[in-house]
């Protein structure tokens, strides 16, 4: 049975342009797979969908269609811009006892000053959407909301049409057996600027030795050409099966799907309490338990990796000191082991100051030295000079927030952009004084592996 939980009708929102009404209505549904719900939108909403699941698998979010989009090209102001637009849009949305509010999902690009054209050309510096049909799965319960944001006064017919389509989508998702997809067939692959990448590691290392910077993260890409077009549900089904210990995300926009499986939390806010994580320093998994332990212990004691890690800890800690009333942080990193790789990991948390918000934390934290470098501005200049690509949403904040200020953003690493019958996979690593090109290259291969596997590849496995 689908139970009706809440309805707010006709909240007035005054924007600069017009008066918008934000209608939301939520029902509880008895059984639903998030992936089949995503798939149910294949006919009508391909290109306007999103998928999100947290690492703990306690919160899953799917969006079909766009009731409203918020974009910004305001450079450093894009975080404030999105925050203000979202506040204005939700100022009258009433929270119900189930805390099922409309959710805004999207991301901010890595670097607004990057002018390199390519697969990301035309993508806004911030892109967020409120779904027309929103599925939230929390604590084993599934809720489907419809959202209608319009300047029309009379919405009776429009809402009725949305309810009808909602029921059809749920029905399709519930009765359709989960498809098993064949892996995409790769026709060819290449590593753009491989030589330039290797040369840049030497150059950046020498810049660091000359004290021009302390740490700079340099990334590269891998391009795949498929035999035929690859669908979003296909690749999402692969990452859901293959990467259970990571944040899973997918965002369709401009006919492409940006997706990934990231182990790295940028920030989570729950009732004005903030959580972040320092993830930097890497080694592969071992073939045996013993080798895995040895590699892990080696990583914990490795000076080069500990220094990569410490820059991240120092910077995130500074942000918590400024934005939180107090904070907690362990004195030494632990190991974070995921399928293909192990990282040094230090969690940070603390109660936020009254004026702090999730998007202000995202703005202050991005890019952490795990993805940018130290000092930040210099590192960004070095990245622009030595990385001949545009990162787009790779290494950037991706996630969600609600109208109450709760939400979570991951760092969009272990990610790829799927564009019809092509894909671009991205990976990088933290360069410090004693980095070596060959081992950094190998580290990127390990980091490319999850997306490569999901896309039917098996290079270097």
Ligand X SMILES: C=C(O[C@@H]1C=C(C(=O)O)C=C[C@H]1O)C(=O)O
What is the SS3 assignment for 88?
A: helix
- Of residues 34 through 93, those in contact with ligand X by CB under 6 A are none
- Please state the closest distance from residue 131 (CB atom) to Mg ion, in A: 36
Q: How many CA atoms lie within 13 A of 391 on its CB side?
A: 32
- Please state the closest distance from residue 62 (CB atom) to ligand X, in A: 25
Cβ contacts of 427 within 8 Å, gap of 6 or more = 219, 220, 222, 413, 414, 444, 445, 447, 448
Query: Which secondary-structure segment (H or E) carries 345?
Result: strand 341-351
Q: For ligand X, which residue of 382, 413, 417, 455 counts as binding (CB under 6 A)? A: 413
Total chain residues near Mg ion (CB under 5 A): 3
Query: 191 catalytic, yes or no?
Result: no
- Please state the closest distance from residue 16 (CB atom) to ligand X, in A: 39
**Judged by CB under 5 A, which stretch of 51-59, 201-209, 280-288, 309-317 contacts Mg ion?**
280-288
**Judged by CB under 6 A, which stretch of 184-192, 222-230, 396-404, 423-431 contacts ligand X?**
423-431
* Beta-bridge mates of residue 130: 68, 104
Contact yes or no for 418/222 (Cβ under 8 A): no
Please tell me whether residue 308 binds ligand X under the rule CB under 6 A: yes
Q: How far apart are CA 221 and CA 192, in angstroms?
A: 6
The backbone torsions φ and ψ at residue 250, rounded to the nearest 5 degrees and listed phi first, read: -150, 135
Query: Which tokens in the block code for residue 354?
Result: 């009254």
**Judged by CB under 5 A, which stretch of 132-140, 277-285, 367-375, 411-419 contacts Mg ion?**
277-285
- Please state the closest distance from residue 342 (CB atom) to Mg ion, in A: 11
Please tell me whether residue 233 binds ligand X under the rule CB under 6 A: no
| Cα–Cα distances in angstroms (integers) from residue 299 to residues 243, 343, 412, 424, 437, in the given order | 22, 8, 23, 29, 18
Q: For Mg ion, which residue of 282, 346, 406, 444 counts as binding (CB under 5 A)? A: 282
- Please state the closest distance from residue 397 (CB atom) to Mg ion, in A: 20
Please tell me whether residue 429 binds Mg ion under the rule CB under 5 A: yes
**Judged by CB under 6 A, which stretch of 140-148, 225-233, 374-382, 424-432 contacts ligand X?**
424-432
162 binds, among Mg ion, ligand X, none (CB under 5 to 8 A by kind): none
Residue with tokens 């200049």: 381
Residue 347's Cβ-count burial label (10 Å; 0-12, 13-18, 19+) is middle
Query: Which tokens in the block code for residue 20?
Result: 């918008």
DSSP track, 134-195: EEEEETTEEEEEEEEEES-S--HHHHHHHHHHHHHHHHHHHHSPPPPPPPPPEEEEE-TTHH
- Of residues 257 through 296, those in contact with ligand X by CB under 6 A are 264, 279-282
Please tell me whether residue 428 binds Mg ion under the rule CB under 5 A: no
Please tell me whether residue 205 binds Mg ion under the rule CB under 5 A: no
Q: For ligand X, which residue of 78, 166, 414, 453 counts as binding (CB under 6 A)? A: 414
- Please state the closest distance from residue 253 (CB atom) to Mg ion, in A: 30
Catalytic residue among 264, 387, 440, 443: 264
Strand 141-150 and strand 186-190: the pairing is unpaired
452 binds, among Mg ion, ligand X, none (CB under 5 to 8 A by kind): none
Closest-approach residue to Mg ion (CB): 429
Query: 4 catalytic, yes or no?
Result: no
Q: Which residues bind Mg ion (CB under 5 A)?
A: 282, 429-430
Active site residue ranges: 215, 264
Q: Which residues bind ligand X (CB under 6 A)?
A: 217, 219, 264, 279-282, 308, 343, 370-371, 395, 413-414, 427-430, 447
């Amino acid at each position: 049975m689908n139970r009706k939980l809440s309805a707010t009708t006709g909240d007035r929102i005054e924007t600069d342009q017009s008066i918008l009404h934000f209608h939301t209505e939520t029902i509880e549904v008895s059984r639903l797979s998030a992936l089949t719900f995503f798939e149910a939108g294949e006919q009508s909403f391909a290109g306007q969908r999103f998928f999100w699941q947290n690492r703990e698998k306690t919160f899953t979010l799917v969006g079909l269609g766009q009731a409203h989009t918020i974009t910004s090209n305001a450079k450093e102001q894009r975080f404030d811009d999105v925050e203000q637009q979202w506040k204005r849009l939700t100022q009258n949305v009433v929270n119900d006892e189930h805390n099922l509010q409309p959710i805004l999902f999207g991301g901010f690009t890595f670097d607004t000053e990057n002018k390199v054209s390519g697969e990301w050309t035309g993508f806004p510096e911030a892109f967020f959407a409120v779904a027309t049909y929103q599925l939230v799965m929390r604590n084993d319960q599934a809720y489907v909301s419809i959202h209608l944001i319009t300047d029309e006064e009379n919405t009776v017919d429009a809402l009725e049409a949305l309810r009808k389509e909602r029921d059809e989508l749920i029905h399709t998702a519930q009765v359709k057996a989960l498809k098993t997809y064949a892996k995409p067939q790769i026709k060819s692959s290449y590593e753009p600027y491989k030589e330039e990448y290797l040369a840049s590691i030497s150059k950046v290392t020498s810049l660091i030795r000359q004290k021009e910077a302390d740490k700079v993260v340099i990334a590269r890409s891998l391009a795949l050409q498929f035999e035929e077009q690859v669908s979003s549900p296909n690749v999402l089904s692969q990452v859901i099966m293959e990467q259970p210990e990571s944040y899973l995300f997918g965002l369709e926009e401009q006919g492409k799907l940006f997706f990934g499986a990231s182990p790295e939390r940028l920030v989570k806010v729950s009732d004005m309490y903030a959580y972040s994580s320092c993830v930097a320093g890497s080694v592969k998994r071992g073939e045996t338990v013993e080798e895995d332990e040895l590699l892990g212990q080696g990583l914990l004691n490795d000076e080069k990796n500990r220094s990569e890690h410490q820059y991240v800890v120092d910077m995130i800690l500074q942000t918590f000191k400024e934005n939180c009333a107090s904070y907690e942080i362990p004195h030494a990193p632990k190991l974070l082991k995921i399928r293909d790789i192990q990282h040094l990991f230090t969690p940070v948390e603390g109660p936020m100051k009254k004026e702090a918000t999730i998007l202000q934390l995202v703005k202050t934290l991005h890019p952490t030295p795990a993805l940018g470098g130290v000092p930040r501005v210099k590192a960004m200049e070095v990245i622009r000079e030595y990385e001949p690509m545009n990162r787009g949403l790779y290494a950037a904040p991706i996630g969600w927030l609600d109208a109450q200020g709760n939400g979570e953003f991951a760092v969009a690493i272990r990610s790829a952009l799927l564009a019809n019958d092509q894909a671009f996979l991205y990976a990088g690593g933290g360069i410090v004084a004693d980095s070596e090109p060959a081992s950094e290259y190998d580290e990127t291969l390990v980091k490319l592996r999850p997306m490569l596997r999901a896309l039917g590849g098996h290079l270097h496995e």
